[in-house]
Structure 1
């Protein structure tokens, strides 16, 4: 088992599929958008023929209106019957969480989830000032989680995490990173975005909006989808829409590169052209 990381549009999926064929491995995708069924173009997930050739876990697992967080990836990983897998994806936060471990979460009912959404950061500060001080007042995900824990356990999140410390879920596996110049990456992002338009990105988003009728869904706030929804509102023309997706994707890629640099100290980094040879020399099938 090993991990392949890198920023969006750096060629991770293509390299992972190539390596999986040579090593007779399967793939666990750590992509927060490919996990959704029906989001095919915006997620730039592998083509159906590639998914049929190589078994992929973490792709097409849930519908866009279903609840999802890092624990879903953990559940998927724990169900894989063997360890001959390549863990690949741009959402390196999930890889970090699986290596470092996360605390066992309490059971959160739909009623508690709905109740938590009615509350806010100020409420969180009242019940657990220490926990609230460690997160941004705009971090809606962690605010919601902290309130959910409190409502489910009647304990402040800080106390709950003290009693339920994180447990590592992955061994210390080799981590390989695609190294790529930002100017080259920007061009790759432009090419990929152009291909998404040609493949029917706008029609895909129109279908998702018509079917689910809720723009507040986390899946519909992803880059490539939220900009098209703004386009539907008349905020951009098509040329500006293209530029906006490229800009926001480039910013995401920069954040991903920074995260990978700071969070994975012992990774091996190399350009994609050289990384395949390095991985094959270090991984014995």
Structure 2
């Protein structure tokens, strides 16, 4: 049984709708493993159909982490997944389990491997100052952009969460975010071997899978789910701008008919899949690539 000395983990990446979920469950069964999902929508409670998160029956008794972890109106960023990884890693050792990390949001996997910098402790005085600055978000963004163009150019001017983070760093330390992160470089979160397996799939075949999944989502009650989400959380949370949600809101506004809704979701998801593949191909080294059947044969 797994212990600190024998604990094994692997990561399975690939574009959306490429078959990661089903393969990860088979691998977890074979490996005696838990699953940590790296998915920017499945992490939310109440977002079920549009996130294509596996149902309880589809999980086949495998314990999943990173699913139904937060409510849609709660903020999260990469630190959430780093915290999650530490929790899951500890739990794996306690329960003598291995770990399969799976998801389409590979940026989080990259951050787990490379790590992030520790942020400074924020004093009550700095917190009070930051709150005053945040009252005029645009003015604060412009000011920060002049101080640290390199860092702020990666942040949207209407992103209060990241602007607050930049303000806290500068007001607490007197260092711009760029200077701070240079002085306090990131420390890797994952310190044990983590082989990465990447699902490859032909673009046309993937497009067909995405179109089919979109059709199934709509038939399974996607529109009702988005109506409920809007009523409960409004359109303000960042996740309400995600693919599948934003198109359905446009349908509810009368901008699309049902046929157009399906086409828009399919097209935008296919574009996302292309970006995911480009990211995966450029950001990771020594990745073992193959189609689902090849990887299944290799791993099982």
Q: TM-score normalised to the size of structure 2?
A: 0.85
Query: Over residues 148-167 of structure 1, what are the superposed CA-to-partner deviations in whole Å (9 max), with x where a residue is unaligned?
Result: 53345443101221222100
Measure, in 1, the Cα distance between the counterparts of 2:204 and 2:166: 39
Aligned twin of 1:62: 70
Alpha-carbon shift at residue 113 of structure 1 (Å): 7.2
Equivalent residue number for residue 111 of structure 2? 97
Unaligned runs of 5+ in 1: 281-285
Q: Which stretch has the larger CA shift, 154-163 or 262-271?
A: 154-163
After TM superposition, give the deviation of residue 6 of structure 1 in Å.
0.1
User: C-alpha offsets along residues 22-43 of structure 1, whole Å, 9 cap, x if unaligned?
Assistant: 2211100000100000000010
CA pair 106-114 structure 1, distance change in 2 beyond 3 A: farther
TM-score (norm 1): 0.90
Select between 42-51 and 259-268 the one with higher mean Cα deviation: 42-51
Q: CA RMSD in A?
A: 2.3
Q: Please, which moves more after superposition, 251-260 or 141-150?
A: 141-150
Is the contact between residue 34 and residue 43 of structure 1 (CA under 8 Å) also seen in structure 2?
Answer: yes
What residue number does 2:5 align with? none
Of 235, 253, 277, 1:233 maps to 253
Shift of the 139–96 alpha-carbon distance from structure 1 to 2, 3 Å rule, reads farther
User: What is the count of residue pairs matched by the alignment?
Assistant: 278
Q: Which runs of 4+ in 1 moved over 2 A?
A: 105-124, 129-133, 135-155
Q: Where in structure 2 are there 5+ consecutive unaligned residues? A: 1-8
* Structure 1 counterpart of 2:216: 195
Aligned to 1:276: 296
Q: Equivalents in 1 of 2:132, 2:278: separation in Å?
A: 34
Q: Distance in 2 between matches of 1:241 and 1:114?
A: 42
Q: 1:139 to 1:260 in 2, by over 3 A?
A: farther
What SS class does the counterpart of residue 46 from structure 1 fall into?
A: coil
How far did residue 182 of structure 1 move?
Answer: 0.6
C-alpha distance after superposition, 1:58-94 (max 9, x if no partner): 0000100111111111111101222611000000000
Which structure would you say has the larger Rg?
2
Pairs within 5 Å for 1:199-210: 199-210=220-231
